[in-house]
Amino acid sequence: MVSSHPFARAFSARLLQLSLLVSLILGLVSTAYTEQKGDPAPAKPAPYSAALKTEGTPIAFEPNLKQADARYKFLVHQNGLTMGFQGNGVEVRLATEAGGADRLGISFEGSQSGLASAEELLAGRVNYLRGSDPAAFQRNIPTYARVRYTSLYPGTDLVFYGNGSRLEHDFVLAPRADPSAIALAFTGMRRLQLTSAGDLLIQTAQASVTLRRPFAYQVTSHGKVEVAAAYRLRNDRVTFDVASYDHSLPLTIDPVLDYATFLGDAAINTAHIATDNAGNTYITSLVFDPTYPTTPGSLQPICASCSGTPDVVITKLSADGSGQVYSTFLGGTNYD
């Protein structure tokens, strides 16, 4: 439950702004999308990619305002995971040890083309400051708490949202909607299996995703009543088995998505962050990318060693998140 205290709301909003600004603004996240035609692939990474560890920060969804492939209407980034939302499926990008990304596609088989929409505007804004040309920067992108696919199946909505730092999705069924109509198909995985605990384990080349055993429930006059539910796996196609329930009431099926990647490995360098009393944000990190944005007149606007070893970067972001106040490389020709 989120506190309604004004200080708590302000602190949560500030935390969200910082986590989004730092992990998205500066191009430090190794799973960032690029605008390319055809198969959507992440930007070609430097030998190592710097990333901010954001465990515990809120999950927020952003509309695609040309910061990603046009096939995606919304995006979400969190701890090495990037997810793009399409009309009848999602694509998950998971950071890998080599600095690239494994791709996992999840399609909603037999669905109607879902109308995806954002719900609950958040205080945080996202700015993409990629490269050295300010005209190419994308600023002030709003963020939302949820993405909803309305009538993905007859009488069934699909809602993605964050629960703390966990990404969850609920299938919300209206009275008399049919849960057996829901079907998930996967691409890009090497292994798909049900565990003894009833979880669905999905393994890609270098990462893994787990859909926890579904928790299904109805809200009745006696409160929330659990309904037994389980995955059914057949020929790489996943459906739900749901026990007897009251079809005159709505039903919610709630799987939790967990993921494990190599984020935090030696191949990824963590940024360090501080703020001053005026709300400005300061970031230091090691980067291999010579296109990291610096400001004119800075101490060292060009990377001295990015062809093989990293340079330190120091960046100051304005309190309102609208851009860089100051940014410079700092280092010699050897490893810093």
Kind of pairing between the strands at 49-51 and 268-270: parallel
Residue 88 and residue 185 in contact, taking contact as beta carbons nearer than 8 Å: no
Residue 81 and residue 72 in contact, taking contact as beta carbons nearer than 8 Å: no
Full pLDDT tens readout for the chain, 336 residues? 434 444 344 444 444 444 444 444 334 333 333 333 334 434 333 332 233 333 445 789 999 998 888 889 999 987 667 899 998 899 988 876 666 788 899 999 999 876 789 999 998 888 887 777 778 888 889 999 999 999 999 999 999 998 876 788 999 999 999 999 999 999 998 889 898 889 998 888 877 788 889 999 999 999 999 999 999 999 889 999 999 999 999 999 998 777 554 323 333 354 567 777 776 778 777 776 666 777 777 788 777 666 566 678 888 877 665 667 888 877 766 555
Kindly report the three-state secondary structure assignment for every residue of 12-26: HHHHHHHHHHHHHHC
Say how far apart CA 263 and CA 50 lie, in whole Å. Answer: 10
Residue whose pair of structure tokens reads 């791709």 in the numeric block: 103
Nearest to 123 by CA among 320, 325, 280, 282: 320
